[in-house]
Amino acid sequence: MPGPITRLLVSGMTCGNCVRHVSDALQSVVGVAFATVDLASSSAVVRWQPGSAASPQGLVDAVKTAGFAAKPVEESSPEATAPPVTNPWRSPLALGLPVTVGLLAADWVFGLGMNRSFQWAAFILALPVQVWLGGRFYRGAWQQLRVGGANMDTLVSLGSTTAFFYSLWALLAGLGGHLYFGEAVSILTLVSLGHFLEARMSARAGSAVRALLDLTPATAWRAGTGDSATEVPVRELQAGDEILLRPGDRVPVDAIVISGNSAVDESLLTGESLPVEKIPGTALLTGTLNQSGRLRARVTATGETTALAQIVAAVQRAQGTRASVQRLADRVSAVFVPVVVAVAVAAGLGWALAPAQALRIHQALAVHLWPVHPPAAPVAGGILVFCSVLIVACPCAMGLATPVALMAGVNAGARRGILIRDAQALETSGRITTVVFDKTGTLTLGRPVVMAQEDFRPAADRVVPLAELAASLARPSQHPLSRSLAALAPGGLELSDWEELRGAGVTARWWNRKLEIGSVASFHAAGPDLTAAAEFIGAWTRQGATPTLLLADGCLWGAFALRDELRPEAVDVIAQLGASGLEVFLLSGDHHRAAAAIAKAAGIPETRVFSEVRPEEKAGQLRRLQAEGRRVAFVGDGINDGPALAAADLGIAVARASDVAREAAGLVLLRADLNAVPEALALAQATLRTIRQNLFWAFFYNAAAVPLAALGFLSPVVCALTMGLSDIVVVGNALRLRRPAKRRTGIPIAPGPGKTGDRWVARDP
């Protein structure tokens, strides 16, 4: 069962960097599984680990320590259900933009900067902008100062306030010269504009979670007697209730079909483009769309236990993790603001106290860069340089580099039925050298067909058909081979002491006889006489089938030949992975000839086949590959592959939505299509590449911009503009992950269902 959820309202956040700090603070609380923070609604959702008691006060204290304020809200309170603000920067910009444009145009276009009346008008217009628009930055800077910290709000506040109050002092003192009210408000306006665009683009990056959350309808039709039904809120449904679904209805909860048949669109949940046929006994997933028929279904899961809720939780958890490539950025950011303030003070004092030397250095470099006319007044020049350094060095791009790329990549994957568990899975995917496929249910369809059977019983024991015995014995098991045997006959015999022996078969008692079904290898150690079945076993083994034996009290009673079929897309997928330089192996519990036959059909060399491997031995085989220096990804069907998924460097679970909570896998593929394997690897690698690009850009921008500002080549207005652009570049680069793009290098990506030639990766720069 998932842990409890706590919802918070958080105040004081102004940008994506603030969101990251709040998220880190929440996740540092003991017992928190993950936290999701939303800037637009100023809210946070915290999921606790299973078995942990919720501690809202602990969360509030952690947020307060980080320099922000928070309060818990109940699920049913108006605050929790109020619609989120579309963009918190929209209203302040409505004032800031007209004032900024008007002041800068009057100053630099119409030449009114030295006019005394205009200077007073500029002060009057700039004051409300400085108070209202600047208030956001002042509050953020003060909250950080209270806890002994500093952030980009500190830099913006210092820069804008310095320009404003210097201009006010010069105006009141009648010093004459140029004043910088326009520059003061332009700093606030342009930085706010950057935050506005950042919030808008980040909302697009995180749209998949909101789309998933919107899939659950508010009401459902609870079935009564006959065809009667009552419309009730979804939250009132419980496991065991029966619901009715009409054409066009969204499935409100996880359920299993009792009667009726229909086609259901699962594309938004699993990435499957074609509708899935639903008949009695098949599962329905929350949020999917019933298309053509009427269905009656029994509820199996509600609320936080549904597959949809687990998918949302998996996406949110992935967005809350951090890649190790960001550790350098975190260490730099921790000391960045104090260093920048020191550089700004030194540069400002240099221009104010030694203007000749500063100008000489500036002019020497201007020959190689671009001509700039610094202010003639030393004090004014020092103040402008001080403001420029503070503004241009805002570390917001550095803080956004990883989370926004991770959010975009995780959401792009979620739209295609690919769940990326965390940032570590992304990093691991970039170092994979070997891909190992499980056979049954992964590389094959997982629906073996009984090709032949032979009865070896004495005539006196042939009272019940052999198929009936096998079907009755196999029916309780979920193993693919058992399901195939169970389909041979109704299988209604009464058995006792039924037991499944993992990797060996099943056993039970029937009329005081011990019945056993298992592979040939599982019976060899027991030493029964299998001579009668030798010809049957040899003939079908050579054809790539899996012989399965039925024994009674240790005596051979029957043999069955089962053969699984290779998935139709497997050959192309193996070829794609091989062409990208990855070595592909096959791991199977089947005998060697059956495994080798499947491997040959898929294009895997026989030397890369591990056969007759019990489930508990799969992890050991992977460790042997790792001991050879390989980085191993294991692709399993999520049924009995947990240890192998955990042992691999990267576990990839090819599973339906019911398996999304499998903690052992780094990547979970919700659609049973092997094309998703290279697609998922490429998406993960593209996301990691985008993170690295963003971090490089953020570091390069600051490394280049700070010296240029300190040497007088960038004005405060230009610095504010470039700082905002740096955020937009980082977010925009991440958003490329959301669109299909032709891949130029790395793993070739197979087209997804219904998307010919699409590639869910970023374009190479």
Tell me the CA distances in angstroms from 358 to 303, 374, 714, one per residue in order.
66, 10, 14
List the one residue out of 324, 402, 422 whose CA is nearest residue 695. 402
CA–CA distance, 144 with 14 (Å, rounded to integer): 12
CA–CA distance, 234 with 252 (Å, rounded to integer): 7
Active site residue 438: yes
The residue from 107, 153, 254, 438 that is catalytic is 438
Tell me the CA distances in angstroms from 674 to 32, 246, 264, 442, 755, one per residue in order.
34, 33, 21, 8, 15
506: Cβ–Cβ under 8 A, 6 or more apart, which residues? 473, 474, 476, 477, 482, 498, 499, 500, 516, 517, 518
Question: What does residue 279 show for φ and ψ, rounded to 5 degrees?
Answer: -130, 170
**Exposure of 61 in the CB half-sphere (CA atoms within 13 A):** 7
Contact between 558 and 470 (Cβ < 8 Å): yes
Other C-beta atoms closer than 10 Å to the C-beta of 440 total: 25
572, burial (CB in 10 Å: exposed 0-12, middle 13-18, buried 19+)? middle
575, burial (CB in 10 Å: exposed 0-12, middle 13-18, buried 19+)? middle
- Residue in this structure with the two tokens 């032949």, named with its chain if needed: 452
H or E, element range at 184: helix 181-205
Tell me the CA distances in angstroms from 244 to 248, 253, 297, 571, one per residue in order.
12, 11, 7, 42
- Residue in this structure with the two tokens 């990855």, named with its chain if needed: 582
N-terminal to C-terminal alpha carbon distance within the chain: 44
List the one residue out of 487, 473, 550 whose CA is nearest residue 519. 550
Compute CA 116 distance to the chain's CA centroid, rounded to the nearest angstrom: 57
245: Cβ–Cβ under 8 A, 6 or more apart, which residues? 221, 251, 262, 284, 290, 294, 295, 296, 297
H or E, element range at 37: strand 32-38
CA–CA distance, 194 with 726 (Å, rounded to integer): 9
Other C-beta atoms closer than 10 Å to the C-beta of 35 total: 26
Assigned token pair, 380: 């004014």
Residues annotated as catalytic are: 438
